[in-house]
């Protein structure tokens, strides 16, 4: 593990947010809101948690990541670009004809993407399959998957949760990005999922509830997950949708639209200033 400092992680996460804004702006579409809420977790996973090597993305012993809430790939792509899987400039071709970076993750087109995903509820099952494969093969790699809170309305999520616990997949970490918003409104207005911690606990998970923008809490939860044996681990992280771009924060409307020219200028300025401040602290 390379072990970035918290100050370094903050810089990388701010750059990941900038990448998500750049990508969706150039695509004139995409999902900035959830990309920004999950950016800190993506950054920590790729830089401090997972045993992955961009120069050998198909290593059979690597840890796996499945972005079950596939629409939030713009910031994941930015993190992967910084990690070295592909060039940062690919972000400007996001969602373009022939692009390496598709609107939702595509394992066939993008090096380092472990599973094609985007249809909500499906990624967690694939993550279970990967974790089960490790058990079949007596390998010690771990599998991480990030879900949206709205995604937890999908029945398949709970089929998978049952399966994970029944098969004692203690090499599986299910992370739920609880930014509280989905397309039609707040999650609690649309079709409430709480109490999510009790749901996962009753499905046989060990559960940690954290602030998804606090790297110390992210680290503590992921470290704790490794100590749990015989059951899967869920991390429910409270986040702010649109985190890091002032006018996007906690706004339902920024789920699935890109910045126009004026908004883009403001967002880039905010993030670049933030990056400069954070870099000074490293």
> Would you tell me which residues interact with another protein (CB under 8 A)?
60, 64, 66, 106-108, 114-119, 121-134, 136-137, 155-156, 159-160, 162-163, 166-167
Least separation in angstroms between residue 108's CB and another protein is 6
Q: Return the number of the residue (124 or 193) whose C-beta is nearest another protein.
A: 124
φ, ψ (nearest 5 deg) of residue 2: -70, -35
Tell me which DSSP letter residue 54 carries.
T
Nearest to 30 by CA among 81, 96, 107, 111: 96
Q: Which is nearer to another protein, 219 or 231 (CB)?
A: 231
Question: 3-class SS at 194?
Answer: coil
Sign of dihedral through CA atoms 100, 105, 109, 111? Answer: positive
Q: For another protein, give the closer residue by CB, 8 or 106.
A: 106
Q: Nearest approach, Cβ of 122 to another protein (angstroms)?
A: 5
Nearer to another protein, 133 or 228 (CB): 133
Of 133 and 268, CB closest to another protein: 133
The count of other CB atoms within 10 Å of the CB of residue 152 is 24
On whether the CB atoms of residues 215 and 10 are closer than 8 A, the answer is yes
Contact 131, 138 (CB under 8 A): no
| Least distance to another protein, CB of residue 170, Å | 16
- Choose between 162 and 220: whose C-beta lies nearer to another protein: 162
* Residue 107 or 190 having the CB closest to another protein: 107
Q: How far is the CB of 199 from another protein (least distance, A)?
A: 16
Buried b (16+ CB within 10 A) or exposed e, 164-177: bbeeebbbbbbbbb
Dist CA 237 CA 217 (whole Å)? 9
User: 280 Cβ partners below 8 Å, 6+ apart?
Assistant: none
Distance CA 232, CA 128 (A): 10
How far apart (Å, rounded) are the C-alpha atoms in residues 144 and 221?
13
Half-sphere exposure of 18 (CA within 13 A, CB side): 20
For residue 178, the minimal CB distance to another protein (Å) is 22
- The nearer residue to another protein, 115 or 210, going by C-beta atoms, is 115
236 in Cβ contact with 147 (< 8 Å): no
In the complex, least distance from residue 58 CB atom to another protein, rounded to whole angstroms: 10
Least Å distance between CB 138 and another protein?
11
Helix (H, G, I), strand (E, B) or coil at 59: coil
């Amino acid at each position: 593990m390379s072990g970035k400092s918290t100050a370094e992680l903050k810089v990388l996460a701010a750059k990941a947010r900038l990448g998500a804004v750049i990508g969706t702006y150039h695509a004139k579409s995409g999902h900035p809101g959830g990309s920004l809420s999950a950016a800190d977790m993506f950054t920590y996973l790729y830089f401090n948690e997972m045993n992955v090597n961009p120069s050998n993305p198909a290593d059979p012993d690597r840890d796996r990541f499945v972005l079950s809430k596939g629409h939030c790939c713009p910031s994941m792509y930015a993190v992967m670009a910084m990690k070295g899987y592909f060039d940062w400039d690919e972000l400007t071709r996001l969602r373009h004809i022939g692009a390496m970076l598709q609107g939702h993750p595509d394992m066939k087109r993008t090096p380092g993407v472990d599973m094609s995903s985007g249809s909500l509820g499906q990624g967690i099952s694939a993550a279970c399959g990967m974790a089960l494969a490790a058990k079949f093969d007596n390998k010690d790699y771990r599998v991480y998957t990030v879900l949206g809170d709205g995604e937890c309305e999908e029945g398949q999520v709970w089929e998978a949760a049952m399966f994970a616990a029944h098969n004692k997949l203690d090499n599986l970490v299910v992370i739920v990005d609880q930014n509280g918003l989905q397309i039609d409104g707040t999650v609690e207005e649309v079709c409430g999922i709480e109490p999510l911690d009790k749901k996962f606990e009753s499905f046989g998970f060990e559960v940690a509830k954290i602030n998804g923008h606090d790297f110390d809490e992210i680290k503590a939860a992921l470290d704790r997950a490794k100590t749990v044996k015989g059951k899967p681990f869920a991390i429910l992280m409270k986040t702010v949708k649109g985190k890091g771009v002032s006018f996007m924060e906690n706004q339902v409307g920024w789920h699935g639209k890109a910045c126009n020219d004026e908004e883009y200028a403001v967002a880039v300025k905010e993030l670049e200033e933030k990056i400069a401040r954070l870099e000074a602290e490293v």
